[in-house]
Structure 1
């Protein structure tokens, strides 16, 4: 480990939400990790594929990003995720984390 410069090594008790739901066309299972790290953006993990991303409400304006991250080809399905995430993602002001 001498060859690596440690950037951070934090321990934190976090709130985790596991939620599953269906739409007319798909089933979704997500884990949402609410943390004070990463500028307060929750870590969203698709439990079916293991794909994950950090999300905040303004990220939901970019539907193509959600399609890419979660590999969703249908824009309608991505818009359903936008609706879901807009209800569960907290509004977090930008904070300086790495000072």
Structure 2
């Protein structure tokens, strides 16, 4: 019997973007991995804490979720991050949703 069952093993050339910015509440450094995997949602990594999540443009509206996954200290900080993501994450397309 196998120790594990492989769910997927895919390789692709992904576009990766690193963005750093500063606001009145602090400095932010994110890595954004654009991929066709995971329903087209980019993998967003906070370079300061190592916390990561798959995020879509639609997820950027959920301030409580952003605050929780990136361990943000206030709702104001979550609002700043939300605005950044709304300007930098792609919307989910019907093609991406249909692929998975």
TM surpasses 0.5? yes
State the aligned residue count: 97
TM-score normalized with structure 2 length: 0.92
| CA distance, structure 2, for counterparts of residue 83 and residue 89 of structure 1 | 10
CA RMSD for the aligned pairs?
1.2
Query: SS state of the match for residue 95, structure 1?
Result: helix
Q: Which has the higher helix share?
A: 2
**Any gaps of 5 or more consecutive residues in structure 2?**
none
Q: Deviations over 1:5-63 (max 9, x none)?
A: 10000001000000100001110000000000000000000001000000001112210
Q: Which runs of 4+ in 1 moved over 3 A?
A: none
TM-score normalized with structure 1 length: 0.93
**Any gaps of 5 or more consecutive residues in structure 1?**
none
